[in-house]
Structure formats: structure tokens, C-alpha cells
Amino acid sequence: MAERSVHVFDRTIRRAAAAVAATSLLAGCGLFSDDDAEAGQRITVGTTSEPSTLDPAASWDNSWEMFRNVFQTLVSFPTGSSYPQPDAARKCQFTDAANQVFRCVLRDGLTFSDGDPLDAAAVKHSFDRIRKINVPGGPAGLLESLRTVETSGDDTVVFRLRKPDATFPFILATPAMSLVPPASYPPDRLRRDGGITGSGPYVLDSYTSGDRAELTRNKDYRGFAEHRNDAVTIQYFENSDTVFRALRKKEIDAIYRGLTSEQVVALEHKGPETKDLQLVETVGADIRYLVFNPADPAAGKLAVRQAVAQIVDRDALVAKVYRGTAEPLYSMVPKGIFAHTTGFFDRYGDPDVNEARAILERAGITGPVPLTFWYTTDRYGSGTAAEFAELKRQLEASGLFRITLRSKPWKQFQAGYQKGEYPVFGRGWFPDFPDPDNFIAPFVGTNNALSTPYESPEITQKLLPRSRRVSDRAAVNAEFERAQEIFVDDVRLLPLWQGRLYVASTDDIGGGERALDPQTVMQMWELNRKASW
């Protein structure tokens, strides 16, 4: 029987890892060595991205930023890695040649922050409750290939899969698969008391929705993270202006998520108000896209979606709104991820109003088509409003559409699209793991991340299963290129742009260049305050 540990598994995907390694390469200024770190300090990080939930069983969104810092997963992505490494587990491995049996052995003596043991039973409980609760749009969709979770003694867990899935170690590394103690997290419902009990690098001391989370170093933590501070305050802001103002006044130490393009440019040019600040940039794999609801009378028509795709001018959108901090995207699989294509450009070329009109006329559609576009006001920063205003301008300038814009804060916005209330809505996607599977699979099937069923049998029954049999991820280009062709045919999703990610901070903060993992999740333990220059 073939037995391949995570480390051996890594070697089979090194070609794919090389293709995505650029997403971890950072450029910046004002960076310091670890030797200068000042111990015993609290770092305050501002963001416009607040958790939608504190329970991992409910989250397939940016709540992961909190989870990565207070929970553990069996395997994880340490800084600079592009493939899973042991975290709560001391080793994990496929134990068969078919990629259907995955076995993990836990580290010795792990405990949760309440003192309960983190043993094999707790691991099984954590996975079983995700699938049993099955929150709409939640992480159960990531476990579609999982059949059973079994335990052997107190330290061994065996995952048996319904079908081969070479991406399963990557899935285990997502914060959605955070490990929780059975006594605090019911098996059949979400935890609702506003608390978190984990085994990660930090303990959550307090959380006030709309305000802040207070984290302190978990002295009993045993994993890969190395603390460079003793405590972190995460402060939540409603918009980019207020969080940036707080940084300029040095009321906070750093910003992650929420900077506008104008603020990035100001930081790059070191004006009077930003001369004491620094910026670290990573070439991100985060994307923005539109989602069309097939149940809507207008958005449900293929010709309407094709006409929108024919009109949208990504170059103008990026130039006017994002000023060089993003680039046009013509596929749901972004640059930097292997198997990336430019399918929407290949099909539609440059924006063409006459061709869009012909598409509608061939379908018997006359007169301006009314559509309502929804977006969130606070999840992706204040630039989102300007982005949707530009989309409205472009579509209405064609004379073919009449666009109404609507918006809500993230939690209300999320509740609305999960109920299927929006004809067209904007979403962002930050990678669960660096593989094209993660830019295709989450959006198809009945139980997908958008709560908007997208039946595509060729993708779900042929292409994805075939690709998941192959451990050498660089050998499955053809399957993912075909999946992207289907996305172009259906226009259920319309990719718009691919962004860069930034960490801004005062110039006495170090570690920003190490703080973003391959899932673009902030690893707070990397940040530190410098004692000397």
C-alpha cells in the first residue's frame, strides 16, 4: 500500500506551487529584522472586514481572518509556504494510491483554551458538526468529497473520501476547518453566546460587534506560529476614510483590508500626512466578480448576461476606480494560479455596444433592460460604491440597460443573497487555497458559496472528479481550462478585476511582509513593534 505524507505529497505539486509562489512575494519599505522586536507589546490592527460569525461551522468568508488567529487546523500554511504543513497534527498523509484515505496523527498534549483536550474525538466532532449543521453558503460545501471521519485512539483521525480528491489537504488547511471543543460547540446548532474557544496562537478575551476584538497570546499554544507580540486589538471601522484617518493619527498601528486606491497612492508617494507610514504589497489572488441570479426574470436570460459581458469595460473600471491597484480579469481563475485563461476577452473582445444590442435583438429583447445591482458597503472597502457607480454608468451609456443600485452592510447583504433576493450582486473571493479548483468548485452545484444554485454537470460530474484524482496539480490544466470555457458560455459569473493586497502601518511596526499567508489571511502573530531603529 502506497503511503504519502504531506511532505511527500508536497513534492508531487511543486510545479503547481512554483506557479503560485508569486502570490507570497512581497515588496515594501521600512521593513525591520526580528532582532529589533520589542516584547510584551499590544498591536492594534484596523480593518473594514468584520467577522460575520464567530462559529467556524457557519463561515465561508472573511471571518477566517479571526479564525486563523484563535483556532487551529490539522494542517496550515505557514508564512512563505504554498502547500499544507502540520499544525495541530504532527503528520498527515494519504495512505492509498487513489487519494481517498487521509490519515492525521495529532501532536501530543494539545488542549483548548478552556483546558479541554484537543484529541481525535474533538477533531471528529468539529467536522461532523459542519456537515450536520450545513449552513447555507457555509463551509460544508468544501467537504463535498468527505464520506466519514473515523478515530483510532486519542491521537489518530482517518478521513475516508467518497471519491479521489488530491485537494483535500488544502481544504483541511482552511480556517473553515478550525477545531473546536465538543463541550462548547453543540453538534447540531451554532454557538450563539458570542464566545470563542480554540487552541490557536491567541485567546479571544472579548468581542464587541462593530467595535473591536481583544486577543492575548495563548501561552498553551502548540503549533507552527511564533509570536512576535503578546496581544492584538482588531478594531473594526465602517469605511476606509475612518480607518485611514486613525492610522494617520497613530490611533492604530496597522491596516489590513479597507484601503482605497487613493489611500494606497498617497502611501506610495509619501506625502506630508503619510511620511511616517509604510506600505507592504503582495500580488494577490483575490478577485471581484458579478453574480447573476437565474431566478430573476431579466438576469435569468442568457442574452441579458451576454450583453452585460459585451459592454463592461474593465480597463476603464480599473483606471477610474482603482488607479493601478488592480488589473482587469477575464477569468474566474486569476493570474498567478496555474490554468489561468482569458476566456471572457477571447469571447467578447473589447467592449462593443453594437454587438450587445445585436445579442439582445436576436433574443427578442427590446427596450432598456431593468436590472438591480447589489453590493456591500463595508466588506471590501469604500471603493466598492465607486466601482458600482462606474458599472451603472457604462451599462446605461449603452442605452440598453436601466440600472438601479442598492447596498447594505455585509451581514445584511450576506443574508439577502443567501435568500436569493438579489438579481445581480457583487462579490469578492479570497482563495481558500492556491489551486484553480478553488476558483471553480465553490461556485457550482446546489450547495455553493453563493447560495445561488449553478447546475453544471460537466464540471461537477466530470472535470472536477477527474482533476482531483491527480496529485500532480500542474497536470490538470486541460480540465480547468474547459471549466473556464463553460463559465464563459453560461455567464452566470462575470469576473471584473484582480487586486493587490496591502498592509499599511506606522513606521515602527515590523512583520507586515510576513503577515499574509497564501490564503491572504492576516497572521497577527507576525506583527511586532520595534524598540530601536
Instruction: Kindly give the confidence (pLDDT) of every residue in the chain, 533 residues in length, as a single tens digit, with 9 standing for 90 and above.
Output: 333 334 333 333 333 333 333 333 333 333 334 444 444 689 999 999 899 899 999 988 879 989 999 999 999 988 777 778 999 999 999 999 899 999 999 999 999 999 999 999 999 999 999 999 999 878 998 898 999 999 999 999 999 999 999 999 999 999 999 999 999 999 999 999 999 999 999 999 999 999 999 999 999 999 999 999 999 999 999 889 999 999 999 999 999 888 888 899 899 988 888 999 999 987 678 899 999 999 999 999 999 999 999 999 999 999 999 887 889 999 999 998 889 999 999 999 999 999 999 999 999 999 899 999 999 998 887 789 999 999 999 999 999 999 999 999 988 999 999 999 999 999 999 888 888 999 999 999 988 889 899 999 999 999 999 999 988 888 999 999 999 999 999 999 999 999 888 899 999 999 988 887 666 788 999 999 986 44
E strand or H helix that includes residue 411: helix 410-418
- Locate the DSSP E strands across 95-138: 101-106
Give the other-Cβ count within 10 Å of 460's Cβ.
Answer: 19
* Under 8 Å between Cβ of 211 and 243: no
In one-letter notation, the amino acid at residue 160 is R
Quote the CA–CA distance of 19 and 434 in Å, as a whole number.
9
Cross-sheet strand order for the sheet of 254-256: 26-28, 277-282, 501-506, 254-256, 42-47, 231-236, 212-217, 202-208
What whole-number distance in Å separates Cα of residue 146 and Cα of residue 144?
A: 6
Contacts of 130 (CB under 8 A, 6+ apart): 56, 57, 138, 139, 140, 143, 176, 177
Q: Strands of 272-376 (E only): list them.
A: 277-282, 287-292, 326-328, 369-376
Q: Is the pTM of this model over 0.95?
A: no
Residue with cell 463561515: 59
Residue appearing with cell numbers 480554540: 198
The answer to whether the CB of 383 falls within 8 A of the CB of 260 is yes
The one-letter amino acid code at 113 reads S
